[in-house]
Structure 1
Amino acid sequence: MRTREGSMSTVVDVHCHVFNAADLPVKGFIHRLHLRNAALGGLLSGLIDTLIQGAAPSFEADLGRLNTLLGGGGGGGGGLEGLGPAPEESFEHEVDVAVAELRGTQPELLTRIGTALAEEDGAAGGLEGIGDATRTARRAVRWVKLFGRSRLDLVAELVRVSGDRLDLAVPLLVDLDSGLADRSRTTQQQQVELFEKLSRATMLGVLPGAGKARLHPFIGFDPLRELLARRTHDVETPLDLVKRAVLRYGFVGVKVYPPMGWRPSGNAADGRHTAQDAAELDRIVGDLAAWCEEQDVPITAHANNSNHADPGFDGYGGPDDWLPVLAAHPRLRLNLGHFGGAQQTEPADGWPWRMAQAMAAHHGLFADVGNHRIHDPAIRAGYAETLRSMRAGAATRSVAERVMYGSDWYMLALYPDDDLFLERYLTLFAGFGDEARDAFAGRNALRFLGFDDPRNRNAQRLSQRYERYAPANVPAWLAR
């Protein structure tokens, strides 16, 4: 893919994940991930118990691999045994073995998973017996087993399914413990330490399988945990850790998740919170936004009406919730992740249209297309028309400069042909012209991150990080 000037355009995945099951309360997360399909959510959650059972590589295990690589033992992936990524064929063999074992011990589970997943695909009528159900269920088995892989191997897989085209990947950490009333095995501090080294290994070019891709992560932040920390007067609060992650550990943004049970604005007293707590939640979001605005730190928020920790949180984090925050902090860069979701037809008052209209007034408002179901030809064609209409409309044409590529991998690995997601979206945007495709593929994301402007504090901090750790490897996409 080349620009008009002939130089290779930049591809940025602004919304991806390479955490594993140790980094989140995985059983509750998966169960709620498919809250609108309770059968599938329950089945996938049970599959985690059957296949993973706490077997994901620990913080200590991956830290040891990274320390060896950063200490010179890995030699760019050709050194000590076990430092390179697990071969893809080896992983696929593991998946086949797991499917075979389930077919022998729990054939009814495979059938139920295959049927539920086919219903999710909109193709349940196409299943023709146990063989078809098993082939469909294999996707679920493979997806679940990704949660059990090393974070280093997940980076290599992300790069592989993207066709080795990624220049920059932005893995988003999440803090979901409060919303899911559960606890991750790996603490937020441990994740910060681990992902700093994972990022640095890509800067130095010593992370096996990463190719040319650089990783620069966002830290997760939960206002509910911040609320508890303020109530108990903790010495360091989650917001303090966010600041330390950005200023000392090289993180380049913050990820938040309103469907866990809080709103960006307008929190109200309910069965969980007093009026005082609700007002404090509004202040917490304002404190985060004020600091991020001052320091040029972008925020990505889950912004599809999905994945609620509780059905009562339906609608939390929609575009209207964010408008008062953007009005109070006009220089804030905010990415509404998932852009409200992709549908075959989108009502005029749906989240995507309201986001597109808000972009005209708020120049720091962006959106990404992560986890869209464009493997479905009907959804892909209908969504292309929605985007075309937005780009042509006077009130919504700002989407041309604000919509970014983001995969939400490996969440989308449950869908068919997840390795075609990038190619399908590049082809879709190429229909609007090469400039549109290149803006979507990377240029808009670099502007959201601030990496196209040498005066931007986020770009300056990253430049200083390269000067300290990898002065010979400063990427061309980073303005200096």
Structure 2
Amino acid sequence: MVDYDFWLAKGSQTRMPLAVQVEVMRQITIVTGGRVHAFVPFDPLRQVAFELGKTSSDSFSLVTDAIQTKGCVGVKLYPPMGFAAFGNKDLKTKDGSPFWKRSWLPSWTASPDLGQKLDDAMAMMLRWCEQHEVPVMAHTNVSNGVIDEFEALAGSKYWAQALSAFPRLRVSFGHFGDTSLVEDGLERARGFTALMAQDRTAAGANAFADAGYFVEVLKKQPELLKNLRQLYEDPLPPGRAPLAARFMYGTDWEMTLTEGGINEYLADFVSLFDGLEARPVIHQQQVVDLSGRFFGGNAADWAGLRKGEATRNRLEAFYSAHGVSMPDWSAKLD
């Protein structure tokens, strides 16, 4: 789920309001026996609008209730709509005009203190996620924004600020900063790997990335393998975690359906990782079962799905409250 109402429609809601979407996902989680869980969207601009009396819907309350009582696993963020993970108060346009004074946004967003208000809203949400070990999934590809200035807000430098403020935050950098490693190169991805800390007490100790919408695996597998090999074999500066322990499989499957050949997406990734796993450097990093980590283990670590972890405890309470038997994935992890 995503929340674009204030960024694209000045606050006008979709025909199915977010609260109804969350309820639909709650029912889907029940009828699928815990095999499908949602991420609920947080929009700091909606939160600011609520605090200014511009809307009756509170983004923070929607998120916390969805995670605590509706079976949602974590939070979804979409920064290229127009906000940074952190550091909004410092954003400026080249001509010095208010950063959010845009024709498609509500007039009140032109206020000079909006950046600080967005940071306050993000701080409230990220602090709660850190305290309750709630996973955050963020769109980090430079795409789908209205303008280039907004798309750039998905970048790693803003997440560096967020992790400095909330060092234990469980965050997944969606799309690994880019969905076209072959076409665009590795610079953005490397910006995110630099934030993945090995030390459990350091900022970025729970920072991960996913391969959602890596459609190059369908048409450019040899080139993608070469580029992923470079990322896996990059020298590890002191304190940085090996990518093998942080990179996760993903599909963004509704989008990949438009590419054709999607039936081979999983099989192509299996083949690609068979090649990666044989590389000597992986063994030197003392990483066991690279494929197992990529295809599920790392995601379980990021989301906190193992027995006794916070997310697992919330899901078990949800299952118990709704008469849902523990799903097979839990037995596999255990």
Q: TM-score range by the shorter chain?
A: 0.7 to 0.9
Q: 1:345–1:382: 8 Å Cα contact kept in structure 2?
A: no
- What does 1:277-356 align with in structure 2 at a 5 Å threshold? 277-341=114-178, 342-344=180-182, 347=185, 350-356=187-193
Who is 1:439 aligned against? 293
Who is 1:93 aligned against? none
Measured against aligned partners, the alpha-carbon deviations of 1:102-150 in whole angstroms (never above 9, x if no partner) come to xxxxxxxxxxxxxxxxxxxxxxxxxxxxxxxxxxxxxxxxxxxxxxxxx
Matched, 1:372 2:214: yes
Q: 1:336–1:367: 8 Å Cα contact kept in structure 2?
A: yes
Matched, 1:463 2:316: yes
Return closer, same or farther for 1:472/1:232 CA change in 2, 3 Å cut-off.
Answer: closer
Who is 1:411 aligned against? 255
Return closer, same or farther for 1:453/1:402 CA change in 2, 3 Å cut-off.
Answer: farther
Matched, 1:186 2:16: yes
Return closer, same or farther for 1:239/1:472 CA change in 2, 3 Å cut-off.
Answer: closer
Q: Which stretch shows the higher mean deviation, 357-366 or 316-325?
A: 357-366
Who is 1:132 aligned against? none
* Aligned-residue offset at 1:274: 2.4
Question: How many aligned positions are there?
Answer: 296
Q: 1:306–1:314: 8 Å Cα contact kept in structure 2?
A: yes
Return closer, same or farther for 1:471/1:345 CA change in 2, 3 Å cut-off.
Answer: closer
RMSD (CA atoms): 2.1
Who is 1:129 aligned against? none
**Counterpart selection for 1:251 from 63, 72, 75:** 72
Return closer, same or farther for 1:289/1:314 CA change in 2, 3 Å cut-off.
Answer: same
Letter in 1 for 2:39: F
Q: 2:69–2:318: 8 Å Cα contact kept in structure 1?
A: no
Which structure has the higher relative contact order (CA within 8 Å, separation 6+)? 1
Who is 2:52 aligned against? 231
In structure 2, the gaps of 5 or more residues are 92-97, 102-108, 198-202, 278-287
* Aligned-residue offset at 1:258: 0.6
Q: 1:346–1:386: 8 Å Cα contact kept in structure 2?
A: no
Measured against aligned partners, the alpha-carbon deviations of 1:54-92 in whole angstroms (never above 9, x if no partner) come to xxxxxxxxxxxxxxxxxxxxxxxxxxxxxxxxxxxxxxx
Who is 1:161 aligned against? none
Q: 2:218–2:261: 8 Å Cα contact kept in structure 1?
A: no
* Aligned-residue offset at 1:383: 2.4
Matched, 1:477 2:307: no
What CA distance in whole angstroms lies between the structure 2 residues aligned with 1:236 and 1:183?
10
Return closer, same or farther for 1:311/1:421 CA change in 2, 3 Å cut-off.
Answer: same
Matched, 1:385 2:226: yes
Letter in 1 for 2:320: E
Who is 1:196 aligned against? 26
* Aligned-residue offset at 1:425: 1.2
Letter in 2 for 1:407: T
* Aligned-residue offset at 1:189: 0.6
* Aligned-residue offset at 1:236: 5.1
What CA distance in whole angstroms lies between the structure 1 residues aligned with 2:196 and 2:227?
16
Tell which structure's C-alpha radius of gyration is larger. Answer: 1
**Counterpart selection for 2:271 from 427, 449, 457:** 427
Letter in 2 for 1:368: D
Who is 2:85 aligned against? 264
Q: 1:218–1:252: 8 Å Cα contact kept in structure 2?
A: yes
What CA distance in whole angstroms lies between the structure 2 residues aligned with 1:436 and 1:197?
35
* Aligned-residue offset at 1:312: 3.4
Query: TM-score under structure 1 normalisation?
Result: 0.58
SS in 2 for 1:275: coil
Letter in 2 for 1:436: L
SS in 1 for 2:315: helix
**Counterpart selection for 2:246 from 383, 402, 406:** 402
What CA distance in whole angstroms lies between the structure 1 residues aligned with 2:122 and 2:273?
34
Letter in 2 for 1:419: N
Q: 2:130–2:166: 8 Å Cα contact kept in structure 1?
A: yes
How high is the sequence identity, in percent, across the aligned residues? 29
In structure 1, the gaps of 5 or more residues are 1-172, 205-213
Matched, 1:177 2:14: no
Return closer, same or farther for 1:362/1:405 CA change in 2, 3 Å cut-off.
Answer: same
* Aligned-residue offset at 1:345: 5.7
SS in 2 for 1:283: helix
